[in-house]
Copies of this chain bind each other. A is one copy, B any other.
Amino acid sequence: MPRRKLEDAESRILSAGLSLFARHGTERVNSNTIARRARLGIGTFYGHFADKYAVLREIELRTLAGLRDARIGALRGAGPEPSDQVRRAVEAAVHFAARHPEPYRVTFGRERAGASKHGPVVSESSRPTADALRGLQRAGQISAELDVELAARAYLAMEVGMLLWWLEDPSRAKSEGIVETLVSMHPAMG
């Protein structure tokens, strides 16, 4: 009977769940398969997570935190001009997706059925983007008529949709092209 450390078991389950969710989709993976892939007994799985959706939720939370941190870190290295800040933030997101395609796809992808029953679907906040746009608007740098809340939402939808499309087949475009497109269409670049 194998006996591993607590943390070990959880991280093995998360890692197994991540690759299985990414490859087969949430609904076509079951808890037994995750446990087996993690080389743990099914009982051990239930000792650490309530069900597969708890694994999914944890993956999502970590992914969102990682993405947020990447954006924040990027902004710290950016100059004061909005265009530089936008570019850095976009680069951070694109590179995050490129470096972590599985968590990105699992967290934002369409294959998310059923999860809503088992806990709120976590979602990225458009707040920071909206705040930044509001600042620019007050400074007169973008149109006063723009609804910054909606624009922030729209930008995020675009970024997420674009990156998911790209990750489906990374040979579709180079990351520089993705960055340029997202930057040029960012509402702050008006």
Contact = CB atoms under 8 A, between A and B. Distances in A.
B173 A162 contact: no
Given A157-B160, A160-B157, A180 B147 contact: yes
Copies of the chain in the assembly: 4
Interface in A117-145: 117, 121, 143, 145
A28 interface: yes
Interface residues of A, number: 40
A156 B158 CA distance: 8
A121 B180 CA distance: 28
B113 A151 contact: no
State the 6 A-B residue pairs at the shortest beta-carbon distance, nearest first: A157-B161, A113-B113, A158-B158, A27-B113, A150-B181, A111-B113
Interface string A137-180: 00000010111001101111110111011000000010001101
